[in-house]
Amino acid sequence: MSEFNTDLPSIRKVQSYTKDKNAVEIKLLTNDVLEGVILWQDPNCLCLQDQNNKQILIWRNAIAFIRPK
């Protein structure tokens, strides 16, 4: 398990999306695109809630990028 370093700018950015409940677009390395609100993050995963209120667990190493909607 990797260390969860909240001093890293990338971690802080995702925390701001989570805290502010900003809608985001997450593109995966498979070219799938997911949209929703990030509920939480840990060292390995993010949990995204989509527009149908379904929670999707996304492994960090599967993410190409995250951007605000």
Tens of pLDDT, residue by residue over 3-61, are 678 888 999 999 999 999 999 999 999 999 999 999 999 999 999 999 999 999 999 99
Alpha-carbon torsion, ordered 25, 28, 34, 36, to 10 deg? -50
Q: Is residue 3 part of a domain?
A: no
Q: What is the pLDDT of residue 31?
A: 97
- Residue 35: which domain range? 9-68
Instruction: Give, in degrees to the nearest 5, the angle at Cα 61 between 55 and 65.
Output: 75
Q: Which residues sit opposite 22 in a β-bridge?
A: none
Q: Is residue 34 part of a domain?
A: yes
Instruction: Provide CB contacts within 8 A for 13, sequence distance 6+.
Output: none
Q: What is the pLDDT of residue 6?
A: 83
Q: What is the pLDDT of residue 59?
A: 98
Domain count, the chain: 1
3-state helix, strand, coil in the chain (%, to 5): 20, 45, 35
- CATH number at 51 reads 2.30.30.100
pLDDT band of 1, cuts 50, 70, 90:
very low
pTM: 0.89
Q: Is residue 1 part of a domain?
A: no
